[in-house]
Structure formats: C-alpha cells, structure tokens
Structure 1
Amino acid sequence: MENTNVLNENEFEIFNQFAQKLNPSTKHDYLSKIILMKVYLKEKDLLEVTKYDCNEFIEYIKDRYAKSTCEKIYSYLHSFYNFMNKKEYIEINPFTYVKKPEVSRIKTKEDVLSVQEINQLVEILPKLNIRDRVIMIFLATTGCLLNELVNLKWKDLMMDDKNNTYVRLGKGKKERVVKLHPYCFKLIEDYRDYSGLPELILPSDEFVFTTQKSNSITDRNVRLIVKKALDLAGLPQYSAKDFRHSFAAISLRLGANEEDIKNQLGWSDKYYAIRYKYVLNFVDSESVDYLMSNDHLSINNK
C-alpha cells in the first residue's frame, strides 16, 4: 500500500468509508491517485481543496502521464469527491468545474504492432528467460488483459480430446475460454520443465507466473518485462496494453468477424471493433485461428 501517512487521520478515515466495498487492488489504485494529488498540493487538506487546485493538478498530470491515465485519475478523484459531497463532508465537488481529460477510443497505428513488428519481437525471444518468453507470447496471442495474465492459475489451462489447448480468462460475465496458440502452449511446457514441475498439468490454485520472491507476479513486474522485450526488439514506442489492441486489429484484418473478437477479448459489445477501423490498413493484410493460419507470422514456424 502507498504511504498512507501522507493523509491525515480524518482523510484516511473518510477514504476507508469510501473504499469499504472496493476490492484490495481497486482500493490501492484509488488511494495512490488521492495521494498523488495530496503530494502535488503540498499536503493541503483534501476537504479544503478548491476547483482551482483541482484544475491545476489535472493540468500538471496531463504533462506527465498518458491521456488514458489522466482520464482515470480524474474519474477516480471525481468519484471520491462525489462521495465526500454526498456524505456532507464538503458542500460541493470541486471536480465538477474541471474539464475531464478526453481520450479518443479510436485506435491508431500508435496503438497497434504490425505483423512485421510482432516478428521483430519473436526474433528477440531467445534473449529472455523462459518465463518472460511465455508472458510475451501469451499477451500477443490471446489479447488478454494484464490482470488476467497476472491472475492466471494452472487450473485455467485445459486440453480437448484433439490436443487443442485452451485457457480460461476473466471473471463473472467476462469469463471466457479461448484457444491457445500451439507455440504458446509449447513454451508453457518448457516453462514447467525449467521450473521442475511435472509434465502433466493438474488443476490447482497456484499461479502460473511467479517470481523468485513470491508465488505470484504483479502488474508492475509484467510491464517491466514487456518494456525490456520491446526495447530489445527496437520497439520502445509500444507498451503492454498494445498487444490487446494488436490482437484485435490483426485478427480483424485477417478475416475474423466482430463476434469472434468480442468473444475472444471479453468485450460487452461487438461494435467495439469500430475503434479499429482506422488502423486496419496499417496491419499486414475462433480468432486465434486467423493468426495461426497466417504465413507471414514467424511465430507459426516455431
């Protein structure tokens, strides 16, 4: 947890009331954003913050964070101040007067790796340890969310009677079972062998990806792994989230229909695919099957 000493006793008590029904991860996320503003405002009492303070803070983060991150910070703080207003700790939510940072949901070439760039990434995989190779290929061939990879357990992997392998991703309404690329599963087997685990994958609650110090891995660990791999491949302009966008755009370009992509990625609506219409010309002309059958992807020759 962030250094909660930045908040005074009253502020921390209010935050705990606000966060009562949040899961630990979301609670941590909210708290980090609140502390970020508190530090920027030189520890000014959060109940005395004005609309001018809030506006200055949003302008400050706009120069330092991605647009999507700024939007998230704004939304989190707006919700927190709405709570304080509702509970009558403050008379009005100061963020009501601050313009929300807007992010276009339309994807551009800056959000999507081309087939050639994915091949560049595949070529540098031998420079990574086996765990990190699995992580990179898993992200590229499933389009999963970062937290889905972090929370992946051995019980989520399965095989049918034709030796096709699958993985269960997501929770609740977004839970889905998607097909694994054969090379991805081969790397998973190599990873188990390197880790001294039995060849047979038994369903267990143990996490697939671990560190030397922990039986699980964090979002931050994964982002650092991805950054290292992208830097080695000469692709520092991309980040972990771009693999999900790339999976969607390339699959659509190669012929997957919107319903396929919706089911693969856990979208609530297939019309999310419209976000990729401007990028399809930039990518080289069941969803993972479209990737597996493309002769131009070097991964299919592994």
Structure 2
Amino acid sequence: MEGLSEYEHELFKEFSRKLKPLSRSDYLNKIILFKSTLSDKNLLNININESKQFIEYINSIYAKSTCEKIYSYLHSFYNFLVKENYIQNNPFANISKPYVSRIKNKNDVLSLDELNKLISIFPNLNKRDRAIISFLISTGCLLNELINLKWKDLTSNTQNNCSCKIGNQKKERIVELPSYSWDLIMDYKESIQITSIDDFVFKSRNSNTITDRNVRLIVKNALSMAGLSNYSAKDFRHSFATFSLKSGLKDENVKEKLGWSDKNYATRYKYVMNFVDSDDIDYIIDDDELNIYKSKNNK
C-alpha cells in the first residue's frame, strides 16, 4: 500500500474491518498523511512531539473542522493499537484536540441578497448543476442525501404540491419542494436517459452516480461565478436552518425538516439570526425574477 509498509497496512485492515468503505478510505488517507510527515518512520514508533508537530502542521493548512476530524481519526487509530497491545501509549492522548465552535455566525449563512445573487447566475449553468444547487438550497439536505436521491423519491400530486423523500433510517423524511426547484429537476430529467425509477437523480458524465466531490466542485464553481467564493456547500444547510427558524418555525419542526437527532441543535443558530433579514421569510420562488427566497413585505 502506497505510503504504508505492509505491516502497517495489515494493522489498518484489522482496525478498519468494521468501517464502511467510504469511512475506511477516509481514515486511510488521514493516516497516510500523518505517515508522510514522519520521514518514513514506523507508525508504531513515534512520540508525542511528532504528534504535536503534525497537529500544528495541519492547523496551518486546513480548516479547523478538518483538523478536528484528522485528530479524531488518528486518536481512534492509536487507541485501537493500545487496546490490542501493539503500543503502550496513545501519542495523541495528551495533545489538545482542535476545537471547532458549533455556534454559527454570519460567515456561515448567506443573506437573502446573496442567495438571489447565486440564483441569478443559473442561466450560465447546465441543467444538472442548476437543479443540484436549487435542491440543496430548497431542502437544506446533506450532500450524501442529494447523492442518494432516486427518481422514485420525487412525487407531485394533482394540486401540484411537490415533495421528495430524503435521508435513511431514523433521518428519513419527506420535505416539500418549491415549484421552481421541481421544475428545474424536471427540466434536467428531460435532458437525460432514465431506465428505471430506481436510477439516481443526479449522475456524472461517465457514471450513473455522482460523488460528493463532484457536488462540492459544482457548488464551488457556481459560488465563484456569483462572487460568493467565501461560502461552501455546507453553508446552504446552515442558511436553510437559519431562515427556517427566522420565519417562526419551532425548533422541533426544523429538526424534522433537516433530520437532526436533537432539536437543541437549533441553539447553534440563535446568534446568527440577528444578522439575517428582519422581515418574515417566505419560501416561495418567483418564477419571473428567479428569486428563491422572498421577503413577505416584498411580494
């Protein structure tokens, strides 16, 4: 295995045997990253100084949330090695974990004007990409929920009420779709070949699926075109939560919409609500002006 010795790779296989494929790959990449800073030193023969230097290194090049994730992965891996008696001490045990505040601020949420600015560049995007971004904004869904969306999950009744089923197991839920978002998805549908209702809605050029990396790049490109490069895909979910709470929805209702495990997650957004438009928010899209969010006072 590139980056790891044969013995180290066997240890990783033992450690990761219960992990799902995507998680296994993510863990492996982070462990290889750590190994790349050790001058080919064995992973079982490192000290706290080397661990500390690595955390300082990633803190200098990655976002805090990424650093927290890398730390957690390595801490977990070395806990396993201690538990299985491969080493005596976890070299990350006495190193402070990178801290990420869960409280959202105005840098995590797009304003109404910014959202409409993003929508205004839709004519410059292909049908798939504008449908993807509209869906993310309109539902606040996670990227993996968008990726796993299938045609059978989309429904529309005789009153033109549109909805979709997203999530799985405890997080499975039905969410309403604004008519404009629905129309964009149907417009995209007409441009592709569908063989079954079990087909994934969004796919790449060479595959019947799309990856989260593909989606992040699509969003990054659109945000750049709109002059909003300071945001990312995750901020659509934060924006949805903030405007839902600002519109008067109760914490429990927002929990159901977003698939949160705890309604108290809403407290993360209490501060940022002070920075968004003070008018009541109406989740209606103006077909003529391409406004996905409107103030009720501006109807």
Please report the TM-score for the alignment, with normalisation by the length of structure 2.
0.92
Partner of 2:229: 236
- Which of 86, 90, 94 aligns to 1:89? It is 86
Q: Over the residues paired in the alignment, what is the CA RMSD in angstroms?
A: 2.0
Distance in 2, Cα, partners of 1:294 & 1:271: 33
The question of whether the paired residues in 1 share the 8 Å contact of 2:120 and 2:290 is answered with no
Shift of 1:56: 0.6
Shift of 1:136: 0.6
Shift of 1:224: 0.7
Shift of 1:43: 2.7
The question of whether the paired residues in 2 share the 8 Å contact of 1:255 and 1:290 is answered with no
Distance in 1, Cα, partners of 2:156 & 2:66: 38
Runs of 5+ in structure 1 lacking a partner? none
Shift of 1:292: 2.4
Shift of 1:180: 1.2
Distance in 2, Cα, partners of 1:265 & 1:93: 37
Runs of 5+ in structure 2 lacking a partner? 295-299
Aligned with 2:175: secondary structure?
A: strand
Distance in 1, Cα, partners of 2:3 & 2:285: 54
Query: Structure 1 residue 292 and structure 2 residue 290: aligned?
Result: no
Shift of 1:297: 8.1
Partner of 1:133: 130
Distance in 2, Cα, partners of 1:293 & 1:153: 24
Partner of 2:67: 70
Distance in 2, Cα, partners of 1:271 & 1:246: 17
- Which of 11, 26, 30 aligns to 2:27? It is 30
- Which of 101, 104, 115 aligns to 2:101? It is 104
Query: Structure 1 residue 42 and structure 2 residue 39: aligned?
Result: yes
Shift of 1:42: 2.5
Partner of 2:297: none
Partner of 1:274: 267
Percent identical residues: 56
Q: Which has the higher helix share?
A: 1
Query: Structure 1 residue 59 and structure 2 residue 53: aligned?
Result: no
Please report the TM-score for the alignment, with normalisation by the length of structure 1.
0.92
Partner of 1:246: 239
Aligned with 2:26: secondary structure?
A: helix
Partner of 1:167: 164
- Which of 177, 180, 183 aligns to 2:177? It is 180
